[in-house]
Copies of this chain bind each other. A is one copy, B any other.
Amino acid sequence: MNHSQSIETLRQALRRLPGVGPKTAQRMAFHLLERDREGAQVIADALNETLRKVIRCKRCNTFSEKELCDICTSPRRDPEVLCIVETPADLESVEQAGVYKGMYFVLMGHLSPLDGIGPDDLALDRLSDLCNREHISEVILATNLTAEGEATAEYVHQLLSKNQIKLTRIARGVPMGGELEYLDHGTLSQAFSERRVI
């Protein structure tokens, strides 16, 4: 590297972004320096501000700038229904779908023994406490329908089964616009075995 040590440092730093390899990191570094120095400053400032301001909501564990997030303090949400998701990004997807009006709990991950992520690494204690403390009538398990998400849902199911709460899982089946010809066998067999009377 002939240019400068700080460009090399920046290139290494940008590789910490997900999905960014050495070539992409170089392209990003050079792009910012050649054409968007203002953008580089904007990114640096946004990172610092986010690190300074963003904490976890004390109740639902999602990202928030306050002790309790906007959803947990909203009077328009049903406090008796709790939707359990893996990440804040999942929470946002559910919000954008616009169909759910209850509360959330964010695990911040899923069980993954291969990656060394066990029950102690998720916020399961806080989830237990919350279900013991508040009056929850239904818990919707909305972890991903991947192997890890299913295992996590099963674990939470067992954890909460002693609480006499109705536990539900989001429906499995053919996605909107799905064509049977191109669906995997697993989805198709689920769609058949969980078929509904119309």
Contact = CB atoms under 8 A, between A and B. Distances in A.
Interface centre among A30, A46, A63, A89 (most CB of B within 10 A): A46
A16 B4 contact: no
Which of A4, A7, A19, A27 lies at the interface centre, i.e. has the most chain B CB atoms within 10 A of its CB? A4
27 contacts: A1-B92, A3-B54, A3-B62, A4-B50, A4-B64, A6-B65, A7-B50, A7-B54, A7-B63, A9-B50, A10-B50, A12-B46, A13-B39, A13-B47, A14-B43, A16-B39, A16-B43, A17-B39, A18-B27, A27-B89, A33-B50, A33-B54, A33-B63, A33-B88, A34-B88, A41-B51, A43-B47
Given A28-B18, A63-B7, A87-B30, A50 B54 contact: no
Interface residues on A, range: 35 or more
Nearest to A86: B34
A2 B71 contact: yes
Interface string A49-66: 111011000000011110
Contacts of A70: 2
A51 B9 CA distance: 12
State the majority secondary structure of interface residues on A.
helix
Nearest to A63: B3
Contacts of A51: 37, 40-41, 44
A112 interface: no
